[in-house]
Structure formats: C-alpha cells, structure tokens
Amino acid sequence: MDSNEHEHVIEVTDLRRVYGGGFEAVRGVSFSVARGELFALLGTNGAGKTSTVELLEGLATPAGGRVRVLGHDPYVDRAAVRPRTGVMLQEGGFPSELTVAETARMWAACTSGARPTEEALGLVGLVRRAGVRVKQLSGGERRRLDLALALLGNPEVLFLDEPSTGMDAEGRRDTWELVRSLREGGTTVLLTTHYLEEAEQLADRLAIMHDGRIAAAGTPAEVTASQPSRISFELPPGYFVGDLPPLAELGVSGHEVDGRVVRLRTRELQRTATGVLMWAARAGVELHRLDVRAASLEEAFLRIAREASGAPATERERV
C-alpha cells in the first residue's frame, strides 16, 4: 500500500460510460496522471469530462475499461481510496438550511485526518461567512465551500470538476493561487474546466475531450504546437492571390480566400510573415486588416470542436 510505489496515481485505460438511455458519454478514454502532477480535462459542455471524472471518483462503475486511483479500483475499494482523495463535484450538494460552519463540522467528522474546520474555511476565505446558511451564499461562495470540504482531509489526490465556475474574477485568481500552492505541496490534481485560460495557467498536462473521446493531449505547449499559426490580410486593390510569392516557398501549409481576405496557415510563422511583409514592401502596398496570430490553446480547442462536430455528424446522429 506504499503510495510512492505508484508512479501513476491515476490510470485510465479505454474507459467507457453508457447511461441508462443508451447514450455513450465516454467512448474509450485513456490517460494517466503522475504523482504531483496537475492534469486538466478540457472540453465543451457535454464533451464527457464530468462523466469521466465521476468514474475516477468512484461514483459509478464504467461500462468498459479500467480505472485505478492510487492503485485501487475507486468504486470497489472505496474504503481504501476515499480517505486519500478530495472531491469537488461540478455542482456541490449541501443542505441549504445548514450554516457553513455546521456543514464543515459534519464533513470533518466524516473525513479521516481532517484539519480544523476554521483552517479549511480559511484556505478559501470563508471564515467570515461561517455563521451563514448555505442557501444565502452566492454561487461563488458555494464553490469555495465545496473546495474547502474537498481539502479537509489533506488529500493526496484532488478531483476538481469546474472549480471556478460561477466565481468572480478575483475568486477565480484566488482559487488558482490555492490550487497552485496545493500542487507545490505535492498534491496530485485532476481538474476539468471549459476555461482555456485556467488550463493554460495551471496544467502540467492536459487533454481536450470532444464527444466522449480525447481529441488531443500533451503539455499545453505541445497541444498548442500541434496547431498551425495564422496570418490574414486584405488583398490590396488590383491584386490577386496569384500575385503573392509561391505559397509553398513561404512555408504556408494551407490557405483560403474569403472575398478580398486571404487566410494563410503555417507552422513556420516567422518565415511566412517575413515573406508576406517583404512582398508587400517590394510591391509598395499596404495590407489592411493584417492579423498575425501565433498558435494558441484556444485555436487548438476551437479547431477540435469544429472539426470533430463537423466531420462525424452522421455518427453523432446515430446515438
């Protein structure tokens, strides 16, 4: 049971989840998370993030595939796993008529090795709201309470399902700061989010999910690098695409023309941009609406969402 033996704290192999109506929410997902790593599952609503995380949390059994958390099946061996994990569901459930302090006290009594409740509430800045009933909390405060309870037992593994949803900008920064400090302290974190910035800021590695599958995975830099950069501009009057230098020589991997606007895709941004600008300088023309954009996680995300939902539409309809 020595936890350090497990290089991978979370191991997911060909995971599948099918709901009662036959809807296949998770369709063969595999990934692993090393000790101390922060792994983000990114995706649009309905991509299957929560369905996947719930299987890792041991709330349901998979229809296929295998999950191991700290070397155990989180559903079958829950007694072994639960004292070492902390969970924040996408939508926390707390009786609305209990106060923050009463809720925390109840959870602390159900959590092995719980830290003092004031300490946990202090981590998320809720100490001053301790006497307030849960129903009077704002959406963001409820998320903070949920996070505080997930942290009560100093978990080795933390599951955060859209932790900052409903928080204001400041709350989101605070939460990121807290998650970072937990990671520095050695906590393994699995986080889902549909905020790209959140994944970019926090994740060591991430996977983009779409339609129940992982469409791209790697470090934020790797996932970003897999995407082309873009240059777009308006052709000067009297000029056509054919007037540009041969696109292949500029390192362009693809292009499209939309009215007077030209869009170029490239994996060699500097070479392409230089070529285009030199050409414009030589021709003595000004490129209106010039936009040079390095590849970003957002590009990757939007492209995956677009491609995946465009191409296999027939397959989706079958579901």
Partner 1 sequence: MSTGARVSTGARVSTVTTPAGRMGALARAELTLFGRSKATLFSALFVPLVVPISTRSAFPESDLDEAGLTVGLVMLNAAIGFSLLFAVYMSLTAIFTARREELVLKRLRTGELRDTEILAGAAIPAVVTGLLQSLLLAVGLTVLVDVPAPEAVHLAVLGVLLGLVMCVVLAAFTASYSRTVESAQVTTLPLLFVSMFGSGIAVPMEVLPDRLASVLALLPLSPVMKLVQGGWSGDLSASEALGSMTLALAWTLAAVFAVRRWFRWEPRH
Applying CB under 8 A, the residues found at the interface with partner 1 are 19, 57-59, 78-79, 82-83, 87, 89, 91-98, 102-103, 105-115, 119, 122-125, 146, 151, 154, 156, 174, 177-178, 181-182, 184-187
CB-wise, 102 or 298, nearer to partner 1?
102
Shortest distance, position 220 Cβ to partner 1, whole Å: 23
Indicate the burial class of 70 (C-beta count within 10 angstroms; 0-12, 13-18, 19 or more): buried
CA–CA separation, 311 vs 303, rounded Å? 12
CA–CA separation, 133 vs 141, rounded Å? 11
Indicate the burial class of 57 (C-beta count within 10 angstroms; 0-12, 13-18, 19 or more): buried
Shortest distance, position 27 Cβ to partner 1, whole Å: 17
CB-wise, 122 or 245, nearer to partner 1?
122
Shortest distance, position 178 Cβ to partner 1, whole Å: 5
CA–CA separation, 51 vs 73, rounded Å? 16
With contact defined as beta carbons under 8 Å apart, do 234 and 289 qualify? Answer: yes
CB-wise, 176 or 279, nearer to partner 1?
176
Which two structure tokens, joined as six digits, stand for 247? 């696109």
Shortest distance, position 13 Cβ to partner 1, whole Å: 22
Shortest distance, position 118 Cβ to partner 1, whole Å: 11
CA–CA separation, 300 vs 307, rounded Å? 10
CA–CA separation, 270 vs 231, rounded Å? 11
Nearest to 4 by CA among 183, 156, 190, 154: 156
CB-wise, 97 or 258, nearer to partner 1?
97
Nearest to 103 by CA among 59, 139, 147: 147
With contact defined as beta carbons under 8 Å apart, do 158 and 189 qualify? Answer: yes
CB-wise, 145 or 250, nearer to partner 1?
145
Exposure on the CB side of residue 55, measured as CA atoms within 13 A: 28
Q: How many residues does the chain have?
A: 319
CB-wise, 11 or 156, nearer to partner 1?
156
CB-wise, 202 or 217, nearer to partner 1?
202
Shortest distance, position 99 Cβ to partner 1, whole Å: 9
Shortest distance, position 201 Cβ to partner 1, whole Å: 16
CA–CA separation, 248 vs 94, rounded Å? 60
Shortest distance, position 85 Cβ to partner 1, whole Å: 8
Q: Which residue has the tokens 């909390």?
A: 137
CB-wise, 96 or 136, nearer to partner 1?
96
Cα distance from N-terminal residue to C-terminal residue, the chain? 42
